[in-house]
Amino acid sequence: MNKHSVAVLGATGYTGQELVRILRDHPGMFTRFATSEAEAGQAVRGTSLRYVKAADVPLAEVDIVFACLPHGESGAYSIAAHEAGVKVVDLSSDLRAGQAGAEYGIPELWRDCVRGKTLVANPGCYPTGILLGLAPLIRAGLVDGGKPVMIDAASGVTGAGRTAKREYLFGEIAEDYRAYAAGNAHRHVREIGAGLGRIAGGEAPEFVFTPHLLPVRRGILETMYVPLVVGAGVGAAVEATHSMYAGEPYIEVLGETLLPSLRDVVNTNRVAIGHAAVTGVKDPLLLCVVALDNLVKGAAGQAVQNANLMLGFEETAGIGR
């Protein structure tokens, strides 16, 4: 098999490092260029490459680009590469609203829309879990749209990137747990709303999204309080979720009352989804808990899933199960 050549832009960030690691074992792709502004000239661990600066990569000479550069910078490189005739997966937020015709890529929800495309916007880590958890419930008509879905989401510190910031120092996060960007102020809110609207085929259910910082390296746990229509219950939610994701290699649906933890998913491309009934409340309410690794299914692993669909490979190629 002739392998497709790859450029990983931003290869020293946490997501870029994860991509380089995954691509080392991919049967149909190999990393030809890996970029770093600060470490240009240094060796790329585990490969025979040396980092180069992003501006020095001849984009037209590779088959596919993974752009993991900072938000506000990544999209420009992605569009330039795409205009040069190269396939692109952009992992920043720059193209997720469809800029330059980019397709939004959660394979389990919109696989056929991604297959064969040349420009794909990789979803954010928080939206990935939220949309995968809520999609079966919305499509089955179980969600009461007259009340907001309450979402408490907690991420490991690698979700904030590798740039040094005081609030992410070990001494600041250890033995602590805190909310941030509260009040629907997080940059992922627009992306979540757009995804929910697409799932619903119209107006998105209202939601309140509150992210939290976990004192761990990696992993996301999202706890969602979902108002249900009268007569619906946890059994219907589990059945709808099982039915929608039957045969999906990276979705694990737990039975009633079983809820996932980070240990179920860290260092894998899996998403674990669990449900539980909520008692002692007037209106029917469902607890939906979703766990995933923010660097794999929330970023690099899903990017490779999308690239596999774009290039015609098996979706699991290089990622495993």
Over residues 65-116, the pLDDT tens digits come to 999 999 999 999 999 999 999 999 999 999 999 999 999 999 999 999 999 9
Rounded Cα gap, residues 89 and 47, in angstroms: 22
Q: Is 125 a catalytic residue?
A: yes
Phi, psi of 204 (to 5 degrees): -75, 145
12-31 pLDDT, tens digit each: 999 999 999 999 999 999 99
**Angstrom distances, CA of residue 297 to CA of 288, 294, 315:** 18, 6, 13
Q: Which is catalytic among the residues 68, 113, 125, 288?
A: 125
For domain 125-294, give its CATH number from 3.40.50.410, 3.40.50.880, 3.30.360.10, 3.20.20.140.
3.30.360.10
pTM for the model stands at: 0.95
Q: Which fold has domain 4-122+298-311?
A: Rossmann fold (3.40.50)
Beta strands in 39-130 (DSSP E): 64-67, 87-90, 103-104, 119-121
Where along the chain do its domains lie? 4-122+298-311, 125-294
218-228 pLDDT, tens digit each: 999 999 999 99
